[in-house]
Structure 1
């Protein structure tokens, strides 16, 4: 029996609603495998935890998390309780940086039964690979002077090592998909970091002669996400550009509530972390209508990470069968609750298992 130890951090807002839902789904999908088991341990770290302890997570929190195979995160942030820069840097970014989760990946595809706001979205299916450790989100900079003379300085940091690492991850991913990598750049306006990024991308691409490439300026690329999303396969981007593009990708899918993400540790020293894109959604907390699909699709990405790609694909197919039959939460035009959508997914997983058992029994009988 393969047992995976998962640290659940529901966090804030609707994270406390969708993480339990996705956990139930993972238990159900593990039964299809027959030799897979999940062990979940839940941690209460959140903005509410901060109000009580003055920290987002305990001092030994990272030491605790190191013992798990993966981290399953719901959401972080509650502006009414804690400023965003405190909550994010106190837990989410702290985990990403100290666990060397240097790659962020976020898919965007047209799910069956989910209406995109685009008039003609076609069947887009793309993956954004985001450099997740430096770039525009470096912590180098500072503030000087006061009043009308006040100055804020934020330094972007681009290393060859991190840029090349993200690009190679994107090329390796494209080799399994549509064999096309697009680089997000802005070398016509950012004079040092982006020409450097372009140079590294060109050098790396020489090692992948079977992969088609192109480079697009971020402003034009954002426009093409709206006008021709079906033209893209894998997009590799710096920290800031990747962040912006993936929220746009969620929007053209129909809702940020269905968008998944993964923060990947590539050297095996620490666990990777899986989190949906939607955040804590304070406007719908406690209403029972949070969309569980973002968290469940994130669970699919976790299965892929553990080498259970066939099981992950089965899960996403079942999710799409549910959305295609009209089981939708309000954010994507439906009237179903979090529980109703989750229960329907679990029911179909169980039906899938029952059908597989029946088919296997029939084949044995024929023999």
Structure 2
């Protein structure tokens, strides 16, 4: 038996609530999957840590995380602190520090959920969005000068490099090739962003030449939003820049029923560093401490983490349990139109872990 070392960072708002619910589910899963074991270590980093230390995490935070197999992350953000402090001080510090350049966000309409689209369209949603996670519009290049004066300037520079584009394009092509439809949609805005996005287009075209088995189409990001709403069946795997994919993946989660179900992998494909897994819903301080946060996104995230760790059977078992629970109205949380508490949804998923379907029907988490 090998034990996976998992760093647990609850973070802010509802983050600790849903991550601790996820830890309970993972611990229960070890009883259903022989040989599966975890060694969890919790880190109290986040906005409360900042108030006491002037930093979101210690200066040697990355060094402390290096020895772990994966990072299970909750959320970051506090209404009393600037978002640039909280985000850049913790989540982005980990993503960029560990070169987790591939952000992967799956979306599908889980059993029992409806979403805002007509049923015949909602049922067609089965996507995975690949987001370039290290550069682009969120590279962090820029600055502010002449503060407080009428001539004050704030500048953010979108950084696109051949290396950065090539590696995320290859990652997306490999992922699309592993899926049944072998369909990749490349999102761009090169009609208006005539330098960085034109480079994006050129490099992606070079990469896809190595994947003749893929069907590839191209969409401007604004047109992509209406395609997601009107023609969901025309989409499978999506490749987009840091900013564009950030926005499109929130739309995707909403179309899937709620931000509360969204899951994310921040992956270092080289595996030199631990990858980080988080639900996408944010800190949601308006419901923090009320016991009603939807933990499904955290559970789906845990399934992605299991898959990354090579625990494919356990990842599948967890997704089957999640889908069994969402298919029952009494276990839907308020964001999905129900009344179930975080604890009730967690207990229901744990109860469903003893059931499985034949191996031939297994679906990967993405």
Specify the SS of the correspondent of 1:42: strand
Partner of 1:317: 320
Partner of 1:162: 164
Higher helix proportion (structure 1 or 2): 1
1:83 and 1:144 map into 2 onto residues whose CA distance is 19
1:169 and 1:241 map into 2 onto residues whose CA distance is 17
Q: Within the alignment, does 1:339 sit opposite 2:340 as a pair?
A: no
1:286 and 1:25 map into 2 onto residues whose CA distance is 20
How much does 1:21 deviate?
0.7
Q: Which stretch of structure 1 is more off in the superposition, 13-22 or 210-219?
A: 13-22
Residue 151 of structure 1 is aligned with which of 140, 150, 153?
153
Partner of 1:276: 279
How much does 1:127 deviate?
0.4
2:124 and 2:323 map into 1 onto residues whose CA distance is 14
Specify the SS of the correspondent of 2:185: strand
Q: Within the alignment, does 1:45 sit opposite 2:45 as a pair?
A: yes
Q: Which stretch of structure 1 is more off in the superposition, 118-127 or 175-184?
A: 118-127
Residue 209 of structure 1 is aligned with which of 212, 216, 220?
212
Structural RMSD (CA): 1.4
Partner of 1:135: 136
Specify the SS of the correspondent of 1:352: coil
How much does 1:143 deviate?
2.0
The C-alpha deviation readout for 1:11-58, integer Å capped at 9, x for no partner, is 111111111111111112222220110110111111011111111111
2:338 and 2:16 map into 1 onto residues whose CA distance is 21
Q: Which stretch of structure 1 is more off in the superposition, 52-61 or 271-280?
A: 52-61
2:213 and 2:32 map into 1 onto residues whose CA distance is 36
**Contact 2:260 2:297 survives alignment (8 Å):** yes
Specify the SS of the correspondent of 1:224: helix
Partner of 1:57: 57
Specify the SS of the correspondent of 1:312: helix
1:12 and 1:154 map into 2 onto residues whose CA distance is 26
2:27 and 2:233 map into 1 onto residues whose CA distance is 34
Partner of 1:86: 85
**Contact 1:10 1:19 survives alignment (8 Å):** yes
**Contact 1:19 1:295 survives alignment (8 Å):** yes
How much does 1:151 deviate?
1.8
Partner of 1:125: 126
Specify the SS of the correspondent of 2:139: coil
**Contact 1:124 1:231 survives alignment (8 Å):** no
**Contact 1:121 1:228 survives alignment (8 Å):** no
Q: Within the alignment, does 1:305 sit opposite 2:304 as a pair?
A: no
- Aligned length in residues: 353
**Contact 1:7 1:43 survives alignment (8 Å):** yes
Aligned CA distance change for structure 1 residues 218 and 206 (closer, same or farther; 3 Å): same
1:85 and 1:143 map into 2 onto residues whose CA distance is 13
2:287 and 2:254 map into 1 onto residues whose CA distance is 18
TM-score (norm 1): 0.94
Partner of 1:361: none
2:311 and 2:298 map into 1 onto residues whose CA distance is 17
1:307 and 1:175 map into 2 onto residues whose CA distance is 19
Partner of 2:332: 328
Partner of 1:115: 114
> Unaligned regions of 5+ residues in structure 1, if any?
357-367
Partner of 1:257: 260
Which one has the largest radius of gyration? Answer: 1
Q: Within the alignment, does 1:180 sit opposite 2:179 as a pair?
A: no
**Contact 2:125 2:256 survives alignment (8 Å):** no
Q: Within the alignment, does 1:197 sit opposite 2:196 as a pair?
A: no
**Contact 1:118 1:252 survives alignment (8 Å):** yes
How much does 1:311 deviate?
2.1
Partner of 1:32: 32
Specify the SS of the correspondent of 1:215: strand
